[in-house]
Chains A and B, each alone.
Chain A
Amino acid sequence: MAANHTTHSEEPAKRHKHEGPRKHVVAYIFSMLLTLVAFATVMGGEINASFTYILLLVMAALQVVIQMGFWMHMKDRGHLFPIIGILTGVFVVFTIVIMAEYWTWW
Chain B
Amino acid sequence: MSAHSHLDGQLPHEPERATLEGRNKVLGFWLFLGGETVLFGTLFSAFLALRDQVGDGNPSGQELFKLMTVAIATVILLTSSLTSVFAIQAMHRNQVKAMQGWLILTVLLGLAFLGLEIYEFYEYVHEGHKFSTSAFSSSFYTLVGFHGAHVLFGIVWISLLIAQVARKGLNVVTAPKVYVAGMYWHFIDVVWVFIFTVVYLMGKVA
- In angstroms, Cα B75 to Cα A31, docked, is 10
Are A92's CB and B197's CB within 8 A?
Answer: no
- In angstroms, Cα B93 to Cα A72, docked, is 17
Are B45's CB and A96's CB within 8 A?
Answer: yes
**From B92, which residue of chain A is reached at the shortest CB distance?**
A18
Are B71's CB and A39's CB within 8 A?
Answer: yes
List A contacts of B9 (CB < 8 A). Answer: 10
**From B94, which residue of chain A is reached at the shortest CB distance?**
A6
Are A32's CB and B75's CB within 8 A?
Answer: yes
Interface magnitude class on chain A: 35 or more
Q: Which of A52-106 contact B (CB under 8 A)?
A: 52-53, 56-57, 59-60, 63-64, 67-68, 70-72, 78-79, 81-82, 85-86, 88-90, 92-94, 96-97, 99-101, 103-104
List B contacts of A103 (CB < 8 A). Answer: 49
List B contacts of A10 (CB < 8 A). Answer: 8-10
Are B38's CB and A92's CB within 8 A?
Answer: yes
Q: Which of B179-206 contact A (CB under 8 A)?
A: 183, 186-187, 189-190, 193-194, 196-198, 201-202, 204-206
Is A49 on the interface with B (CB-CB < 8 A)? Answer: yes
Is A25 on the interface with B (CB-CB < 8 A)? Answer: yes
List B contacts of A100 (CB < 8 A). Answer: 44-46, 48-49
Is B42 on the interface with A (CB-CB < 8 A)? Answer: yes
- In angstroms, Cα B89 to Cα A3, docked, is 10
Is B31 on the interface with A (CB-CB < 8 A)? Answer: yes
| Interface residues of B, Cβ cutoff 8 Å to A | 8-10, 12-13, 17, 27, 30-31, 33-38, 40-42, 44-46, 48-49, 52, 67, 71, 74-75, 78-79, 81-82, 84-86, 89, 92-94, 183, 186-187, 189-190, 193-194, 196-198, 201-202, 204-206
| Interface residues of A, Cβ cutoff 8 Å to B | 3, 5-6, 8, 10, 12, 16, 18-19, 21, 24-25, 28, 31-32, 35, 38-39, 42-43, 49, 52-53, 56-57, 59-60, 63-64, 67-68, 70-72, 78-79, 81-82, 85-86, 88-90, 92-94, 96-97, 99-101, 103-104
